[in-house]
């Protein structure tokens, strides 16, 4: 984009709030897209009312909008002395040097937009305290140049796959063996029976696992097994070359007739591996990108990931089985005669459950390591790591938006449930669907603007993808979600592929050269505190009862009613505070989706109230008839709409009777933008012409909070009358 005042190129700059703004280094002007001004003020209502009225007495100017090239209009904003330029089409606002400061000061008498101060000190904004925000463009920082120069001399090795796999197996099967040996007296097994069951369970699961998945694909998926010659010529030739170079047997191939791009591998060993791809891999990706994805799956087979992950995943299942068996047996024994060993059995059961939780995280950790190695394999055999990075973005995009002129999965009855069923095998896939969708949203807008065959290669598009990566790389919530995922976050995988490309003296696909302006841990800790806020009254009551029991203090009936009343009142007040924090308002300003996606300070707890206008292009789960969620597209991108009601039965009826009515229609949606890690909008109100659908979760929470307080006061009054 170019400055409307001096025609110089605008530079994207990250503010302290983690929001990207476009800044002119020459005239010091700032461009804010529609709604972005609300990210910098604590009093959005003032600006909302001013923008609702529009710029007073707008006059046409010769300045053109840097976003859409429409001639802008100039008018008074908040005062007769402050005149701003606004685009009548995309509703972005241009602020000349000092005007943004003046607007914010008029609105709330404080300035909250912090940019990095350059050498001349003339940014027209406050400098950051401590670590400054880093301006960013397509040119690498000196630090990154040095890093890439070092990588060009030799790529840094990934964590040893053999060492980490061996360590994981020692820990996992050590857990399992310990629990089985400790539990066998209470399970009624002999030591030989225990060991035999241990070995047979592993063997049976390993032998029949791929066969069961074969059956699942045959009966629950629209899947067709194909010969290598049935694949596109370029892909079959590529597979033959890679398998010959690596000494691998050519795997069996199957195609799932679904437009959601994904791929996975399974089998016993590399000699009988099966590679399954969806039709979307062939339809949405460039030939080189499809090859890179298949190479990733061949990498899983080459590294024996099929066997390793099968054996590793078995341990948590058996540990949980031991835990449930011991619990059931102790419950049965407690109904009859007391057993002296019952207490030990409970201890072993609890230990088994703790080890089950730990083993689940070890398996996820091992899976993420092996994903990096499969990515590295793909970059090696294709010679172009950037191609897989590009494919990762497009694969996520393919889940939610078809090519221009192509039938959507929601319109194709043959693939109604396939995307939903793919979730069951996501651990085997090329990516974790939920974690990748943030990049999908960014890729979509460029795809819409440049056509279905557009490559993700323009500077503007890379800026948008980098904007989405900010949340993945900076927000502490992203780390939390990654710990519970089978795959690394897409942003981290892209960074790893960028390093591999640099080691091959290739230009990186995405250059994320942004310095984090702050830690964001303060917001994270506040979110966690708010999340557990309603648990405080229960903790207080339990602590009081525990102390009373410890000191032998008996609680009278009157005191019991009083304690119950205080508990309910406290619960209601804290629940109300939690609701107000999570459901912000009352202003729901109009914004664009692209403005929301680069915001870092947002989570499932911390929301952004917003109004979006766009077209419903499909259901949240493509083609699934019971999906009440939908997908909204505006001119800047797409976002998932989360339809919630206090009772799921209402969601069920909405899915059956209302969602199809909205598909293909232009709507206005009020709601709360969240990220967890998928960006989504929780619907407050969905408007289609004169018709509207209301979600009442927020209202229900308010009613519930007041009911709790009412019951609490009733208990207090009851205690007074005793």
- Mean pLDDT across the stretch 313-327? 77
Taking only the tens place, the pLDDT of each residue in 247-256 is: 989 998 888 7
> Residue 44 has what pLDDT?
77
* Collapsed DSSP state (helix, strand, coil) of residue 667: strand
> Residue 351 has what pLDDT?
84
* pLDDT category of residue 92 using cuts at 50, 70 and 90: confident
> Residue 589 has what pLDDT?
87
SS (H, E, C) 510-571: CCCCCCCCCCCHHHHHHHHHHHCHHHHHHHHHHHHHHHHHHCCCCCCHHHHHHHHHHHHHHH
Under a CB-based contact definition with an 8 Å cutoff, are residues 262 and 437 in contact? no
Taking the mean position of all CA atoms in its chain, how far away is CA 656? 27
Under a CB-based contact definition with an 8 Å cutoff, are residues 401 and 447 in contact? yes
Taking only the tens place, the pLDDT of each residue in 269-279 is: 788 888 888 77
* pLDDT category of residue 342 using cuts at 50, 70 and 90: low
Question: Regarding predicted confidence, which is higher, 450 or 674?
Answer: 674
Among residues 120, 99, 128, the alpha carbon closest in space to that of 29 is found at 99
Round to whole Å and give the CA distance between 138 and 506. Answer: 14
Q: Other C-beta atoms within 10 Å of 276: how many?
A: 25
Q: Looking at domain 519-722, which CATH architecture does it have?
A: Beta Barrel (2.40)
Under a CB-based contact definition with an 8 Å cutoff, are residues 570 and 592 in contact? no
Q: Other C-beta atoms within 10 Å of 164: how many?
A: 16
> Residue 96 has what pLDDT?
87
- Mean pLDDT across the stretch 320-327? 77
Under a CB-based contact definition with an 8 Å cutoff, are residues 565 and 715 in contact? yes
Taking only the tens place, the pLDDT of each residue in 579-606 is: 999 998 888 988 888 778 778 889 999 9
Taking the mean position of all CA atoms in its chain, how far away is CA 429? 16
Taking only the tens place, the pLDDT of each residue in 377-417 is: 998 999 999 888 888 776 653 323 334 334 333 333 333 33
Question: Regarding predicted confidence, which is higher, 674 or 334?
Answer: 674
Round to whole Å and give the CA distance between 66 and 87. Answer: 9
* Mean pLDDT value across the chain: 75
* pLDDT category of residue 162 using cuts at 50, 70 and 90: very low
Question: Regarding predicted confidence, which is higher, 655 or 463?
Answer: 655
Q: Is-catalytic flag, 297?
A: yes
* pLDDT category of residue 421 using cuts at 50, 70 and 90: very low
**pLDDT at residue 518 greater than cutoff 70:** yes
Locate tokens 């990931």: which residue? 305
Question: Regarding predicted confidence, which is higher, 562 or 324?
Answer: 562
The pTM is what?
0.69
* pLDDT category of residue 357 using cuts at 50, 70 and 90: confident
Round to whole Å and give the CA distance between 15 and 356. Answer: 43
Q: Which of 99, 297, 371, 651 is catalytic?
A: 297
* Collapsed DSSP state (helix, strand, coil) of residue 634: strand
> Residue 10 has what pLDDT?
86
> Residue 702 has what pLDDT?
95
- Mean pLDDT across the stretch 480-508? 83
Structure tokens at 578: 């939690």
> Residue 444 has what pLDDT?
40
Residues facing residue 23 across a β-bridge: 11, 30
> Residue 201 has what pLDDT?
65
Instruction: Give the start-to-end residue ranges of the domains of the chain.
Output: 11-135, 161-503, 519-722
> Residue 117 has what pLDDT?
38
């Amino acid at each position: 984009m170019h400055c409307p005042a001096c025609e110089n190129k605008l530079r994207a700059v990250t503010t302290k709030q983690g929001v990207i703004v476009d800044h002119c280094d020459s005239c010091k002007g700032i461009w804010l897209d529609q709604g972005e001004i609300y990210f910098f003020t604590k009093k959005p209502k003032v600006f909302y009312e001013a923008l609702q009225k529009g710029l007073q007495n707008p006059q046409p100017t010769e300045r053109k909008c840097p976003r859409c090239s429409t001639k802008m209009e100039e008018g008074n904003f908040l005062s007769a002395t402050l005149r701003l330029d606004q685009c009548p089409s995309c509703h972005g606002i241009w602020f000349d040097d000092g005007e943004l400061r003046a607007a914010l000061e008029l609105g709330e008498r404080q300035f909250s937009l912090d940019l990095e101060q350059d050498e001349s000190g003339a940014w027209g904004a406050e400098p950051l305290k401590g670590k400054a925000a880093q301006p960013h463009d397509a040119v690498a920082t000196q630090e990154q140049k040095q890093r890439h120069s070092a990588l060009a001399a030799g790529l840094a090795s990934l964590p040893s796959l053999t060492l980490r796999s061996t360590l994981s197996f020692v820990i996992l099967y050590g857990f399992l063996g310990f629990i089985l040996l400790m539990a066998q007296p209470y399970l009624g097994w002999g030591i030989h029976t225990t060991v035999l069951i241990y070995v047979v369970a592993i063997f049976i699961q390993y032998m029949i696992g791929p066969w069961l998945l074969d059956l699942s694909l045959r009966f629950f998926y629209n899947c067709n097994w194909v010969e290598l010659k049935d694949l596109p010529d370029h892909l079959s030739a590529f597979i033959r070359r890679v398998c010959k170079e690596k000494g691998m047997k050519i795997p069996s191939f199957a195609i799932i007739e679904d437009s959601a791009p994904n791929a996975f591998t399974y089998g016993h060993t590399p000699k009988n591996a099966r590679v399954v791809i969806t039709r979307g891999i062939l339809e949405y990706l460039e030939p080189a990108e499809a090859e890179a994805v298949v190479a990733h799956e061949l990498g899983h087979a080459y590294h024996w990931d099929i066997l390793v992950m099968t054996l590793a995943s078995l341990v948590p299942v058996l540990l949980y089985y031991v835990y449930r068996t011991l619990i059931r047996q102790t419950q049965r024994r407690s109904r009859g005669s007391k057993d002296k060993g019952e207490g030990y059995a409970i201890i072993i059961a609890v230990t088994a459950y703790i080890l089950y939780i730990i083993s689940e995280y070890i398996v996820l950790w091992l899976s993420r390591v092996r994903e990096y190695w499969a990515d590295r394999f793909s970059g090696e055999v294709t010679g172009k790591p950037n191609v897989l990075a590009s494919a990762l973005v497009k694969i996520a995009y393919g889940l939610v938006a078809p090519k221009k002129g192509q039938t959507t999965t929601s319109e194709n009855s043959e693939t109604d449930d396939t995307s939903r069923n793919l979730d069951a095998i996501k651990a085997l896939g090329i990516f974790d669907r939920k974690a990748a969708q943030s990049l999908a949203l960014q890729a979509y807008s460029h795809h819409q603007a440049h056509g279905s065959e557009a490559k993700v290669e323009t500077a503007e598009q890379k800026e948008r993808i980098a904007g989405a990566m900010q949340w993945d790389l900076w927000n502490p919530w992203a780390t939390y979600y990654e710990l519970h995922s089978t795959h690394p976050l897409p942003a981290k995988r892209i960074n790893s592929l960028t390093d591999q490309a640099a080691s091959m003296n290739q230009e990186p696909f995405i250059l994320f050269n942004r310095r984090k302006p702050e830690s964001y841990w303060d917001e994270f800790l506040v979110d966690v505190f708010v999340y557990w806020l309603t648990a405080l009254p229960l903790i207080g009551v339990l602590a009081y009862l525990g102390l009373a029991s410890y000191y032998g203090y008996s609680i009278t009936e009157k005191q019991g009613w009083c304690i119950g009343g205080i508990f309910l009142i406290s619960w209601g007040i804290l629940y109300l505070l939690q609701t107000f924090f999570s459901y912000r308002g009352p202003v729901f300003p109009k914004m664009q989706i692209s403005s929301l996606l680069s915001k870092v300070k947002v989570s499932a707890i911390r929301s952004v109230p917003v109004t979006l206008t766009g077209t419903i292009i499909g259901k949240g789960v493509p083609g699934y008839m019971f999906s009440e969620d939908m997908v909204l597209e505006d001119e800047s991108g797409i976002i998932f709409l989360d339809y919630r009601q206090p009772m799921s039965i209402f969601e069920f009826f909405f899915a059956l009777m209302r969602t199809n009515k909205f598909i293909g229609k232009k709507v206005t949606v009020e709601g709360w933008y969240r990220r967890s890690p998928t960006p989504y909008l929780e619907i407050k109100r969905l408007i289609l012409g004169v018709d509207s659908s209301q979600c009442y979760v927020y209202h229900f929470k308010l009613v519930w909070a007041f009911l709790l307080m009412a019951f609490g006061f009733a208990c207090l009054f009851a205690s007074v009358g005793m």
